Every structure is written in structure tokens, then in C-alpha cells.
């Protein structure tokens, strides 16, 4: 698979060898951990049968080895993941997009997400895999975002996930002054906007009753909302939401379109220890979703016409 990617992305021999070495190190360390775990359980059974103290001492040594092995494995896997993102995933981005800036360890700021008002902000926030690029001359940024509320009563700690998924922000062709938010009715327990100056928003219905039945819209400017989200655009939003089939919120603000997809997943991640065909297909699908959103919502066109 790595050889195929070398041809597809025009990687150098040095890059290919580096990726192969890092992958081999991760796979080897994983096998070592499995071997240590097997030895540990065999020793545990032997200790239970024989009751001999030297076996107990050996168990302690095995536990130390296991902890050291796990630490080494996690370090190697992180290094491998960063190389995969820096070389392969960045290359796949550059294959499909222009002006690519990919920063795997950076993300959207908490203040930026809060300002959008699409989701309630908890007390724990994390974001990474920040991608900035253009597609069909439409500028966009995307990042994984995790928002959680952690509470404790002194005895137990409860973590509630408020959002986990992909956050895409695209340029809009025309400027607009207002703030508009569209929320699918089927997914949300609380359909109200979470905008921290939400008092300026009012619930709004379009002439399309089917759309009103499926979505709740909030706006600061009803006249602008009519022009911004015309019947054709409502159909595009509905088509996209049905295709994604996850919790999706649309926010129009500051001449940008926010598309927040709560799919409980991390995009552009290496989930196993090897670069294989499934990994490449999954990354390609993540990229295709960005293209689909921009194409389906016609962001390269003037929708005010």
C-alpha cells in the first residue's frame, strides 16, 4: 500500500523508507506487548497453582516490562501518526485542494466555536487536525472539535459530550449582516440556539412548510433570511442533511457558513498500526465529504441571483 501511495502522491524514496520504518517499529512494539501479556497470564496461572514466591517476583517484573512497553508503544505510535499526517494525509489534501495548510496538532479556538453559537459550550474543549485550503476557489477551514461538560460531586465524576465531530467553515460569495441558524428537528432534544447573545434571535418559518417541519430556523434578520436561504437552497440543505444522516447544524454569520457535523468521530486518523487500503479509502471519504458540502451547497455560485 505504501508503494502505491508513493506513486500516487509522488513521494520520495526517503519519505517512503521513513514511513515503512516507523510502521515496522509500531507493529514490532505491539507484538512485544502482546507477548508480555501472554507471559503475564501464564505466570499468573503458574503462581496460583504452585504458590512459589519466585514466580510472584517474576510477575512484578513482567508488570514493569508491560508498563514500559506500553509507554514505548504509545510514543512510537504517536510519531508514526504524525509522519502519516505530515506526508500521506497532507499529500492527499494537496491532490484535491489548493493552498493547503494542514496543522495536525492545532485546531479551531474555543472562542471561535463559542462565537458561532451553534452548540452549548462545556468546561472541556479540544480541537485538532486544522485544515485550511480552497476548493473551486472557495476558501474553507475544517477541524475536529470535542466539547464536553465535566461535573463532579466529590465522589463521582460525570462527563457529558456536547459535541464530537467535524466543524467546517466555508467562505460565502455575498456579504450579509445578520445571523442565521438552521437546526434539524429530529436530532435535538433542545432546538433552541445556544448563541450567547441569543436574545437577538427569533424563531422563523419559511413558506415551505415541509422544511419548517424538518428544521427549526433562527434569525436576526427575517428579510435577509428570505434572500439568503431561498427555496432552492432549502432543498440543497435538506439533501445534504439526509446524505450525511447525522446531527448537522448550519450557521450563517460573519459572511461564513458553519457546518457542524456531530458524528462522534475523528477525521483523518490512523486507527490501526498499518497503512492499508481501508485507511486510504476512509481518508478519501473524509476529503470527499468536504467537496460534497461545497458542491451540494453551491458555495462557488452567487445564490443571491
Digit-coded pLDDT (tens) for 166-211: 999 999 877 888 899 999 886 554 445 555 445 578 888 888 999 9
Phi, psi torsion values for 30, nearest 5 degrees: -65, -40
What's the average model confidence in pLDDT over 56-67? 75
**What's residue 54's pLDDT?**
56
CA distances in angstroms from 230 to 173, 267, 284, listed in the order given:
15, 31, 32
Q: Which of 14-23, 77-86, 194-203, 205-214 has the least mean pLDDT?
A: 194-203
Q: Is the pLDDT of residue 28 over 70?
A: yes
Q: What is the pLDDT of residue 301?
A: 55
pLDDT band (50, 70, 90) for residue 303? very low
Q: What is the pLDDT of residues 253-273, one digit of tens each?
A: 999 999 999 999 988 888 878
**304 pLDDT band (50/70/90 cuts)?**
very low
Query: Considering the entire predicted model, what is its pTM?
Result: 0.83
**Cα–Cα distance between 2 and 249 in angstroms, integer?**
37
Instruction: Indicate if the pLDDT at residue 160 is higher than 50.
Output: yes
Per-residue confidence (pLDDT) for residue 252, from 0 to 100: 92
Mean pLDDT, residues 99-110 taken together: 95
Q: Inform me whether the pLDDT recorded for 143 exceeds 70.
A: yes
Question: At residue 151, does pLDDT exceed 50?
Answer: yes
Rounded Cα gap, residues 182 and 259, in angstroms = 10
Nearest alpha carbon to residue 129 among 148, 110, 102, 111: 102
Amino acid at each position: 500500500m505504501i508503494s502505491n501511495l508513493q506513486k500516487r502522491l509522488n513521494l520520495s524514496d526517503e519519505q517512503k523508507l521513513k514511513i515503512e520504518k516507523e510502521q515496522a517499529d509500531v507493529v514490532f512494539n505491539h507484538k512485544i506487548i502482546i507477548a508480555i501479556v501472554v507471559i503475564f497470564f501464564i505466570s499468573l496461572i503458574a503462581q496460583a497453582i504452585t504458590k512459589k514466591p519466585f514466580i510472584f517476583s517474576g510477575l512484578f517484573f513482567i508488570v514493569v516490562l508491560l508498563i514500559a512497553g506500553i509507554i514505548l508503544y504509545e510514543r512510537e505510535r504517536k510519531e508514526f501518526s504524525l509522519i502519516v499526517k505530515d506526508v500521506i494525509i497532507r499529500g492527499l489534501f494537496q491532490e484535491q485542494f489548493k493552498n493547503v495548510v494542514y496543522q495536525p496538532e492545532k485546531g479551531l479556538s474555543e472562542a471561535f466555536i463559542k462565537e458561532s453559537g451553534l452548540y452549548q459550550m462545556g468546561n472541556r474543549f479540544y480541537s485538532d487536525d486544522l485544515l485550511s485550503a480552497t476548493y473551486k476557489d472557495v476558501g474553507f477551514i475544517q477541524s475536529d472539535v470535542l466539547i464536553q461538560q465535566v461535573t463532579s460531586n466529590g465522589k463521582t465524576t460525570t462527563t457529558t459530550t456536547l459535541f464530537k465531530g467535524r466543524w467546517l467553515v466555508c467562505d460565502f460569495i455575498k456579504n450579509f449582516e445578520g445571523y442565521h441558524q438552521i437546526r434539524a428537528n429530529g436530532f435535538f432534544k433542545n432546538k433552541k440556539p445556544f448563541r450567547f447573545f441569543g436574545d437577538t434571535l427569533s424563531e422563523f418559518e419559511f413558506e415551505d412548510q415541509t422544511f419548517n417541519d424538518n428544521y427549526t430556523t433562527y434569525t436576526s434578520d427575517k428579510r435577509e433570511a428570505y434572500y439568503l436561504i431561498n427555496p432552492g437552497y432549502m432543498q440543497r440543505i435538506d439533501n445534504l442533511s439526509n446524505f450525511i444522516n447525522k446531527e448537522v447544524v448550519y450557521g450563517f454569520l460573519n459572511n461564513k457558513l458553519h457546518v457542524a457535523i456531530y458524528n462522534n468521530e475523528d477525521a483523518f486518523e490512523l486507527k490501526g498500526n498499518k497503512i492499508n487500503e481501508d485507511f486510504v479509502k476512509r481518508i478519501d471519504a473524509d476529503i470527499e465529504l468536504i467537496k460534497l458540502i461545497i458542491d451540494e451547497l453551491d458555495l462557488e455560485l452567487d445564490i443571491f441571483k
